[in-house]
Amino acid sequence: MENIPPEHQKVFNIISQAAQELDCPVYVIGGYVRDYYLNRSKQGEIDLDFVTVGSGIKLARKVSEKIEGSSLAVYKQFGTAQVKTGELELEFVGARKESYRKNSRKPIVEDGTLEDDQLRRDLTINALSWSLNKENFGELNDPFGGMDDLERALIRTPIDPKKTFDDDPLRMMRAIRFASQLDFRIEEKTFDAISEMSERINIISKERIIEELNKIILSDYPSLGLTMLFKTGLLKEFFPEMHNLHGVKEVKGVRHKDNFWHTLKVLDNVIKMDADLWLRWSAIMHDIAKPPTQRFQEGVGWTFHGHDALGAKWTKRIFRRLGLPLDERMRYVRKLVRLHLRPIALVSDEVSDSAIRRLIYEAGDDIDDLMKLCRADVTTKNDYKQERYQKNFDYVERRIKEVEEKDRIRNWKNPLSGEEIMEALDIEPSRTVGDVKDAVKEAILNGDIPNDHDAAFEYMMKHKEDFLN
């Protein structure tokens, strides 16, 4: 326990004292200990898990009393409690045995020893613990060879993996998540057990699955985790649309790229430019509707016409089923999926300002992210093609900047309000108001009139009779 931050050491000492007063042995266990040996520093809030041979709630109450300014939250139904102090979140639980019925998401929980608690841990590297007891303060407990597994960069379960995953199938997702986050290899026996038991993930709630999936997607190389999800069969169980991207058809010797591996490459490309979770989801979803739109056209080859529009249509349904938010984040992903082919169609020197204006209008503030996705979508290994495509996007971005500076279309709002239209034309609320707004919008996007109020008002009055007849 060398080089522990002083504020953490102080908390450990307080917990040790509280446990001694209650005569209940206590240990810090799990991620904090694992990351200490991996030299993984964390920013912001830090979670520390403590297990005691006794009541975790009683120990948390005692600790909270000893730490001035701390807050206590008790979860009696789970037998756990949390103490928050500064940026530390201290989770307390009594040592326990835990198992799941065959078709239940809720565990059977019993009091247990430290050894029982370590046995129920998902991975050997997460079963490491330090004693905070006076007689052996700071001593490492490593009953399953977790330190050796850290050295070998190996993901392995403490006991028979089939038993581990049968007790809680989410542990299959967690094994892959840690392999992805840490760039570790999953032990062959453990990997085979995941493959054999992948269907059992269906008893786990979508909320728990999506939490692990998002952590995989947010890792430095999400393609590693998604590849393991694919190869074990887990992906097919909860995200069949992505699994179905895999496969290559051939007609008359003409093949197309495998859209699953292409999508993973796009995902890895996009994270080099941006860390945002929802841009990563846009990369995952951008070609999601290619399988049902796939056609072979004589003299042309394989086509996927309309996969952008269909993919955008699928986005809400997929987000709902996976338990992802249906708010502006879903709409952002849907927009980028719908527009991801548009910029490459604007590379001609003769492309009109009107076409550029319409792209800016439809993308709004997400135009820059759209261009990142488009650049990431270039996965050719041909250096000449790669350079040509990127130069084309350079050109499109210059044109976007030129038109935006001139016309101010991004996040455009109609210069005329409904009230002003009704007053000027002396009409009641009606479809005509919408017709006027649409006509003004089209005139501005086409470049027929400038993007300002006076020009829009003059245009409306000039065409007044057309609107009223």
How do residues 108-127 score in pLDDT, each as one tens digit? 666 667 777 787 889 999 99
For residue 279, the enclosing domain spans 273-407
Domain tally, the chain: 3
Q: What is the mean pLDDT of residues 77-84?
A: 90
Cβ neighbours for 447, distance < 8 A, ≥ 6 positions apart? 352, 353, 354, 357
Residue 307 pLDDT class (50, 70, 90 cuts)? very high
Q: For the segment 237-247, what is each residue's pLDDT rounded down to a tens digit?
A: 999 999 999 98
Please write down the HEC assignment for all residues of 360-380.
HHHHHHHHHHHHHHHHHCCCC
Q: What is the mean pLDDT of residues 272-294?
A: 95
Is there a single domain that holds both residue 451 and residue 383? no
Lowest mean pLDDT among 25-29, 125-129, 399-403, 410-414: 410-414
What CATH number has the domain bearing residue 127?
3.30.460.10
Q: Report the chain's mean pLDDT, rounded to a whole number.
A: 90
Is there a single domain that holds both residue 328 and residue 424? no
What pLDDT sits at residue 100?
Answer: 55
Per-residue tokens: 138: 């700071």
Q: What is the mean pLDDT of residues 42-69?
A: 90
Q: What is the residue-wise DSSP string for 99-127?
A: EE-TT-SSEEEEE--HHHHHHT-SSGGGS
What pLDDT sits at residue 412?
Answer: 80
What pLDDT sits at residue 297?
Answer: 82
Q: How far is CA 332 from CA 160, 343, 370, 409, in A?
A: 43, 17, 10, 18
pLDDT of 381 strictly over 90? no
Is there a single domain that holds both residue 370 and residue 429? no
Domain boundary among 126, 147, 168: 147
Per-residue tokens: 216: 């995989």
Is there a single domain that holds both residue 424 and residue 391? no
pLDDT of 325 strictly over 90? yes
Is there a single domain that holds both residue 368 and residue 429? no
Residue 105 pLDDT class (50, 70, 90 cuts)? low
What pLDDT sits at residue 167?
Answer: 86
Instruction: Name the phi and psi angles at 234, rounded to 5.
Output: -65, -40
Per-residue tokens: 159: 């006991």
Q: What is the mean pLDDT of residues 34-39?
A: 94
Is there a single domain that holds both residue 342 and residue 428? no
In a domain, 169, yes or no: no
CA-wise closest residue to 81 among 102, 60, 66, 64: 60
In a domain, 79, yes or no: yes
Instruction: Name the phi and psi angles at 130, rounded to 5.
Output: -115, 135
What pLDDT sits at residue 108?
Answer: 61
